[in-house]
Each structure stands twice: as C-alpha cells, then as structure tokens.
Structure 1
Amino acid sequence: MLEAMTQEALLAALRLQLDWGADDALEDAPIDRTVARVAAAAAPAEVTPPAAARPGGRPGGQEAPAVLIPSRAPTPGATRAAALAAQADSLPALRAAMAEFDASPLRETATNLVFADGVTESGLMLVGEAPGGDEDRLGRPFVGVSGQLLDRMLGSIGLDRAKDFYITNILPFRPPGNRTPTDAEVALFLPFMLRHIVLAKPRHLVLLGGVAAKALLRSKEGITRLRGRWHQVTISDDQSLPALATLHPAYLLRNPAAKRDAWADLLSLQRHLASQ
C-alpha cells in the first residue's frame, strides 16, 4: 500500500512539473542535494582578517567603500555573433550563420533552429521573444496556441501571414521549459536580430511582449508602460524604424482581460498602416 501511494505521489509531482513547463531533463541522474548541505555544514567557517590587514582596509574596522565598475567589454560569444551577423548578406546566409553559431547552450537543448515565417516584402515585421514547444518541433515561429491567437488577432484588422507580414523572435532557439530568456541570452543573439531587420527591410515593426520591446528599444520599462505607443528602434547610426510595442499573445492567453488593450494596439497598427 505504501509503495503504491509513493508511486502515485511521484506521478502527481511529475504531472505538476509538466504543467509548469519543466519538460526537459538537464541532468543524467537526480542530484542528491542533502550531500551538498552536509558538506557545507561541515566546512570550516571562513575567517575574515581585520580591516587593517586587508588590501584597501581602513583602521578601526571601517570597510573601504566598494566601487563597482561594470565591464562593458563584449563577451567572446557576443563578438563572434556580431562578426557572423555582419558577414551575412542575405536572409539564407543569416540563417546559416545562426545555425553555425555554437556559443549558446540553447543550441544543444533545442530541437530546431526557428528562423522566421511570412513574407518579407510585406514591409511589416513582428518580433517576439523565443520559440515555444510547438515552434521548436516544427521549426517555425508562432505556430502554437499563442501563434494561432495572434493570427486571428491580425486577421481581425485584415492582415494575413501568407501575404501581409513577416514574423520572427529575438532568440532562434527554445529555452528549456519555455522559460523567459535571460538578459545574457538576449544580448548574445541581439546582433543577429538587428542584422535580420536590416536584411528583411521592413518599414514598420511590431514588438510582441516585454523581452522584444525592452531589447530593441533599449528600455528598462515593462511592456505595460511601453505598449500602445509608437517608438523608434535604432538599427544603426543612420537608420531607425517606427515600432509599436504590444502584449505577447501568450500573455493574453493567461490574462484574457488584457485583450482590450491588445485590441486598442491593433487599431493603432491599422491606422498607422493605412496612413502610409
């Protein structure tokens, strides 16, 4: 009886993890974290020398004020990403460069590189954050439930993916468990994204969700503050594009009440396109 209850509890725990999106196992075997706790407890406490004996210390036990100087030097991965992106002279060449780029572990955990979909000649480019599970399996962006919602939303103002817009993501690889991309991951792939915009030559951008909006607008504000307004996205020193920030369709699925705001954004997009 006890063994059966244990199995039921384990199955329930696994179902819960799947519901939360933890569908990738990143370790070959479970980690016994009790061992780490015992080792930490047994380790001798580190003895901090008096301030006068430490470099930069002050007499009387007063600590010298810390001066944090953030490093602005690009990482080797970001440098290589920028170089590969700059060499790409076409969208197929950019896709090949992204497939070659191996500085991110996301490449190893994803099934497919998800590049783009739609029509580049449309002049309207939509940018999301990262592929989900369906996108990872099929190798196309926005084909899951949130993508289907987005297609219906754009269809309500007369836009069709087959002829009226082009769509991609900041990240070409799915983060494990559909988690939100980290700032480091976004920064690593941003050179590819900027080059993607240059090569696709859109006249207007729509930024879907906070990750895309904050990355391309270089802003720390959240999407609820950025949405509903037209901004300028700087692509290079002499090039910028008008961009509308709006809510990601995945957010709308979790928060149906926000669809009213998204509808207002769609009407703004419709008016903007009609005026061009």
Structure 2
Amino acid sequence: MESAQSFWAAKAALDWQIELGADEAILDAPVDRYALAPPPEPQPQPEAGPAQPSAVPAAPLAPPPPMAEPDPVAEARAAAGAASDLHQLAAAMQAFEHCALKAGARSFVFADGQPGARLMIVGEAPGRDEDRQGKPFVGRAGQMLDRMLGAIGLARDGAPDSAVYITNLLPWRPPENRRPERAEVQMFLPFLEKHIALAAPEVLVLMGNTPCDALLGKSGITRLRGQWTEVLGVPALPMFHPAYLLRQPQAKREAWADLLDVEARLKGAP
C-alpha cells in the first residue's frame, strides 16, 4: 500500500514538472554555471641544468627602398643623344612613352620639306589637319606659310638652294589645339635641339611664342619678332605664326618685313 502511494506521489511530482516545462532529464544533479573552474594543478618543474642562452629576436626586415620616379627629361636627352641621323631621331621620338599626348593623337608628325635645307622653320605643335595627314603646317595656316615662302622664292620641295625644312616642337597634337604645357615642352626640347643639330640649317625661323619660349627662354612674340638672335650657334629670327596672321591680318605687314629679312640673310646680305 505504501509503495503504491509513493509511485503515485512520484508520478504527480513528475507531471507537475512537465507542466512547468522541465520535460528533459539531463543530469542527476543541477549544474552551477556561475561556479569558478578549479585552478590547474601545478606541473612538476624540470631539474635545473646549465643556463641556455636566450634566443635573440630576429631583426625586422627593412622595407625595400622606394623605386625612383622616371625622369622624362633625362630619358629624352639620352634618347636624343643616341640618335645619329634624322631617321633614328624620329624613331626615338615615336617610341618615347612619357608624353600623354601620344595616346590621344592620330598621327606622329615629325617634319616636312627637304632635310639639309638652308632654312629650317620651327612651329609649336600639330593641329587637326596635321594630325590627320602626319605632316606639319598643312591646314589653313600651312597654306598661308607656303604662300609666304613662295613670295621669297622658297618651297618645301624646292631645289637645294630654295628648299625649306619644317618641323614642330611637339610631334603629337594637344587636345583641342591647346598650347603645350611646360612639362611637355621640357620633354621634347632635347629632341628639338638634336633635330636642329642634325638638320644643320643656315637660318632658323621660330614661328610663334612656344618655340621662342623653349629655345630662347623668352616669350612675347610681338616684342621678339624681327630681332635676330642665335640658337645653338644658328642665326634665328622669331616671326608671327601664320595662324596668328589669319586672326590678325593687320600683322601681315610685319611678317612681310621679316620674310624679306630672311631672304636677305640667305642671300648673304649684311
């Protein structure tokens, strides 16, 4: 009788626990989750022996030295100096990779006319028409230049005594025909100086401000024009660019006087 009562009492207690949600038996005794773990047992220490040298920490690796930035002017000077003729100079200029204008231009514009001509003309940079045809001074300004030269008996394809050799400071067209930037001028100045040395003209004509600024270190073409100077040992005369004459026709009078001065110099007049 007593065992039956114990059974029913235990069952009633179990039912009560199930109603409370305790429906899984995990352990026989509750676990105190907040109790601290017992400290680890001490490990036996090895017997003392001869002292061992302490390990020397490895020195940290030094960072690699920074790579030197390329010097476009120095590389241009070296490339130009290695050219022994005009063909090699043109190849060196075309292979020069430090000028961003190359990526946006259509054509490499080196020169036109007769190499070895007595008169060499230096302009600024190719325009749209020059970029299309790969030759300097072929647009409206170039057509005016041809007429100007013809007035004193000179031509691009003339005989040796009447031929002209024409080039620009830059071989690549600047976007929107903007004026060349200082860095671009400095990059291509070594090539231009070597170009003049290889062409070996008797007279130079500097068309516009940019060639004067590059080769003479001066600007202000209205003040410089008509005044003879010297570039690399060659007599040089600054003149108005034909594109300027198209915008300012009243300046043709001064340009004609400069042309007559060039003619006189080529004929040996004092």
TM-score normalised by L of structure 2: 0.71
CA RMSD of aligned residues (A): 1.3
Equivalent position amino acid for 2:122 in 1: V
The structure in which a higher percent of residues are helix is 1
Determine the structure 1 residue equivalent to 2:168. Answer: 169
| Inter-partner Cα distance in structure 1 for 2:258 and 2:214 | 19
Identity of aligned residues (%): 54
Does residue 253 in structure 1 map to residue 246 in structure 2? yes
| Inter-partner Cα distance in structure 2 for 1:166 and 1:195 | 15
Q: Secondary structure at the match of 2:167?
A: strand
Q: 1:16-165, aligned counterparts within 5 Å?
A: 76-163=71-158, 164-165=163-164
Shift of 1:178: 0.5
Q: Secondary structure at the match of 1:206?
A: strand
Max Rg structure: 2
* CA deviations over 1:71-124 (Å, ceiling 9, x no partner): xxx971111111110001110000000111010100101001100000122221
Q: Which runs of 4+ in 1 moved over 4 A?
A: none
Q: 1:199-210, aligned counterparts within 5 Å?
A: 199-210=198-209
Q: How many residues matched?
A: 197
| Inter-partner Cα distance in structure 1 for 2:267 and 2:197 | 23
| Inter-partner Cα distance in structure 1 for 2:167 and 2:70 | 25
Equivalent position amino acid for 1:200 in 2: A
| Inter-partner Cα distance in structure 2 for 1:232 and 1:79 | 24
Q: Secondary structure at the match of 2:267?
A: helix
Given candidates 257, 264, 270, the residue that maps to 2:263 is: 270
Determine the structure 2 residue equivalent to 1:225. Answer: 223
Shift of 1:198: 0.8
| Inter-partner Cα distance in structure 1 for 2:180 and 2:264 | 32
* CA deviations over 1:5-54 (Å, ceiling 9, x no partner): xxxxxxxxxxxxxxxxxxxxxxxxxxxxxxxxxxxxxxxxxxxxxxxxxx
Shift of 1:275: 1.3
Shift of 1:192: 0.3
* CA deviations over 1:241-273 (Å, ceiling 9, x no partner): 100110000000111111111111111111111
| Inter-CA distance 75–246: structure 2 relative to 1 (3 Å threshold) | farther
Instruction: Specify every segment of 5 or more residues in structure 2 that has no aligned partner in the other structure, as ranges.
Output: 1-68
Equivalent position amino acid for 1:249 in 2: P
TM-score normalised by L of structure 1: 0.70
Equivalent position amino acid for 1:111 in 2: R
Q: Secondary structure at the match of 1:167?
A: strand
